[in-house]
Amino acid sequence: MKKILSFVFALTTLFAMFGITSCDKDDEVTPGPLTLHFENRAGNSKLNFGQAYTNAAGESVTFSTFNYYVSNLKLKKADGTTYEVPNSYFLVKGDTPASQEITLQNVPGGDYVGVEFLLGVDSLKSASDISQRTGALDPAGDAQGMYWMWNSGYIFVKVEGTSPASTEAGNLFFYHIGGFGGYSSPTINNIKNISVASSMNEKASVSKDSHPEVHIYADVLEVFKTPNVLSVAEHSNVMFAPFSTSIANNYADMFSLDHIHND
Per-residue pLDDT, 204: 96
- Considering the domain architecture, whether residues 19 and 64 belong to the same structural domain is answered as no
CB atoms within 10 A of CB 138: 13
Residue 5 has pLDDT above 90, yes or no: no
Per-residue pLDDT, 231: 98
Q: String of b and e for 175-191 (b: at least 16 CB within 10 Å)?
A: bbbbbbbeeeeeebebb
Residue 19 has pLDDT above 70, yes or no: no
Residue 140 has pLDDT above 50, yes or no: yes
List of residues 6+ apart from 18 with CB closer than 8 A:
none
Per-residue pLDDT, 149: 81
- Greater confidence (41 vs 11) lies with 41
- Considering the domain architecture, whether residues 84 and 159 belong to the same structural domain is answered as yes
- Considering the domain architecture, whether residues 8 and 119 belong to the same structural domain is answered as no
The range of the structural domain enclosing residue 172 comes to 31-261
Instruction: State the average pLDDT for the chain.
Output: 90
- Considering the domain architecture, whether residues 99 and 19 belong to the same structural domain is answered as no
Domain count, the chain: 2
- Considering the domain architecture, whether residues 26 and 87 belong to the same structural domain is answered as no
Per-residue pLDDT, 151: 67
- Considering the domain architecture, whether residues 25 and 149 belong to the same structural domain is answered as no
- Considering the domain architecture, whether residues 209 and 231 belong to the same structural domain is answered as yes
Residue 209 has pLDDT above 70, yes or no: yes
For 73-126, what is each residue's pLDDT tens digit? 999 999 999 999 999 999 999 999 999 999 999 999 999 999 999 999 999 999
- Considering the domain architecture, whether residues 127 and 15 belong to the same structural domain is answered as no
- Considering the domain architecture, whether residues 122 and 5 belong to the same structural domain is answered as no
Per-residue pLDDT, 200: 84
For 235-245, what is each residue's pLDDT tens digit? 999 999 999 99
Distance CA 135, CA 216 (A): 23
- Considering the domain architecture, whether residues 248 and 120 belong to the same structural domain is answered as yes
The answer to whether 77 and 175 have CB atoms below 8 angstroms apart is: no
Residue 183 has pLDDT above 80, yes or no: no
- Considering the domain architecture, whether residues 130 and 93 belong to the same structural domain is answered as yes
Per-residue pLDDT, 77: 94
- Greater confidence (175 vs 130) lies with 175
Residue 24 has pLDDT above 60, yes or no: no
- Considering the domain architecture, whether residues 129 and 204 belong to the same structural domain is answered as yes
